[in-house]
Amino acid sequence: MSLTELQTPTTTEVRVGRLEDVPPGEGRAFTAGDTQVAVFRLRDGSLHATQASCPHAGGPLADGQTDARVLVCPLHLFGFRWSDGASTSGAGPLRVYAVRESDGDLLVTL
Ligand code: FES
């Protein structure tokens, strides 16, 4: 095993809830073990997931507004790109997670 393989962090896919728990166009917060995640279901059917708490000052990101590119925190309106979690307005980056639906379950890779 190479040094690169040893340093690669392990990831785990975790069931956090059901697709119907998240109305189209909205986000919801879920608990996955010790991790709080916010899952968004866009009106086009796509899913996005991130940490539930904003890196700026802890705002509830599941209550934020989003489109396919940017999530806006409801507390101070900082924006974050879904593509890489980077802030569009000067805050620290978000952690973004892969998320998919399987048989109605929401599966987030932590
Ligand atoms: S807490 Fe999210 S922008 Fe300030």
Start-to-end CA span in the chain (Å): 23
Residues 99, 100, 101, 107, CA torsion sign? negative
Question: Does residue 80's CB lie within 6 angstroms of at least one atom of ligand 1?
Answer: no
Of the candidates 39, 13, 16, the residue with the CA atom closest to the CA atom of residue 26: 39
89-106 pLDDT, tens digit each: 989 999 999 999 999 999
According to DSSP, the β-strands at 26-32 and 70-72 are: unpaired
pLDDT of residue 9: 63
Query: Which of 29-33, 52-56, 97-101, 104-108 has the weakest average pLDDT?
Result: 29-33
Q: CA geometry: angle at 55 spanning 87 and 19, to 5°?
A: 85
Question: Does residue 54's CB lie within 6 angstroms of at least one atom of ligand 1?
Answer: yes
Pocket test for ligand 1, best of 65, 66, 70, 78 (most atoms within 8 A of CB): 78
Which domains, ranges and CATH numbers included, belong to the chain? 15-102 (2.102.10.10)
Question: Does residue 78's CB lie within 6 angstroms of at least one atom of ligand 1?
Answer: yes
Looking at the CA of residue 74, tell me the nearest atom of ligand 1: 2
pTM as predicted: 0.89
